[in-house]
Amino acid sequence: MYLSGEQMRVVNAGMPFKFEPHWSLVDLPVGPQPLPDWAKDMRVDWMDRYANAPDFRLKTNRNLRDWEGMRYSREGSMFIARHPDGRADAYYQDGPLTPTKLQRWRMPDGTLKCHPRIIKNELEPGGWVDIERLCTRQEQGFGGSHYDIVMLDGTEVTLRGPWHGGAPKGYLDVAYVDMDYYRRNYRNYFAKRAWYKVGGTGGLFITETLFINLFARFCSNLRLATVNEGYGDELQPLKPEWDAPKAWMQAKAKAA
């Protein structure tokens, strides 16, 4: 089972507390730090009405989980693509890769897609074709959806129903709002909502170093702490009036 730290909290809710939580403040960098050109802002969702730890939203100008030349490597049960700017995209699935026949929608330019778009109640140009690819076994992650990926050596692989899991070592799981996408598809949506309240896209992993630089740039009025509740180290912000992270205070209350 592949679970994030937040999911582990839910699974263990009500269980006897067997870990002494601890935390420490992070020394934020001073002065301008190098940031990718897609980084436009960052905000904290404090989850005030819920027991969840504070969450983050990144403001961007593109889809951060797709980039040119994206290539994956397999590290145990994890398939991961790493970008030089600190991003990563990862799926989790065990088992061997076996040659399997599939159907794909072939576009006029030869591009293969798992599903065609519907335009004005009609399928976009193209047609179904039979292909053979190396595939994982069919599971039910992401509703059983297929993800066609390319490995570092150029091998084409299909992940069938892979799972989302916790952040790889050295990374954090964050959500982002692609402003270009929302402006194209929901032009009037921002009339009543701030950008960080429109939902966004989850499943993005970024390195801890990049996250700290983003936090120092866009959340400079806040403090950042490393928190460990027994599920590994996590970075969590503190409100100015707090003397400890939210998750740590909740864990201490649970232990009492």
pLDDT at 256: 67
pLDDT at 229: 75
pLDDT at 22: 81
Is 115 part of a structural domain of the chain?
Answer: yes
Q: How many angstroms from the chain centroid is the CA of residue 255?
A: 30
Higher pLDDT, 256 or 121: 121
Is 132 part of a structural domain of the chain?
Answer: yes
Q: Which domain holds residue 107?
A: 85-160
Has residue 108 got a pLDDT over 50?
yes
Is 244 part of a structural domain of the chain?
Answer: no
Has residue 81 got a pLDDT over 80?
yes
Is 176 part of a structural domain of the chain?
Answer: no
Question: Contact, 97 vs 87, CB < 8 A?
Answer: no
Q: What angle do CA 14, 15, 18 make, to 5 degrees?
A: 135
pLDDT at 183: 81
Q: Domain total for the chain?
A: 1
Average pLDDT over residues 185-207: 81
Q: Which of 65-74, 93-102, 186-195 is least confident?
A: 186-195
pLDDT at 199: 77
pLDDT cut 90: percent of the chain above it? 64
Question: Contact, 204 vs 65, CB < 8 A?
Answer: yes
pLDDT at 4: 52
Has residue 138 got a pLDDT over 90?
yes
Has residue 5 got a pLDDT over 80?
no
Average pLDDT over residues 41-61: 91
pLDDT at 185: 78
Is 90 part of a structural domain of the chain?
Answer: yes
Q: Sheet of 87-92: strands edge to edge?
A: 41-45, 55-60, 171-178, 201-207, 87-92, 78-82, 73-75
pLDDT cut 70: percent of the chain above it? 88
Is 172 part of a structural domain of the chain?
Answer: no
- Number of neighbours of residue 32 by Cβ within 10 angstroms: 9
Q: Which of 81-90, 126-135, 217-226, 239-248 is least confident?
A: 239-248
Q: Which of 23-32, 130-139, 184-193 is least confident?
A: 184-193
Average pLDDT, the chain: 88
pLDDT bracket for residue 11 (50, 70, 90): very low
Average pLDDT over residues 33-59: 92
pLDDT at 190: 63
Is 121 part of a structural domain of the chain?
Answer: yes
Is 147 part of a structural domain of the chain?
Answer: yes
pLDDT at 253: 72
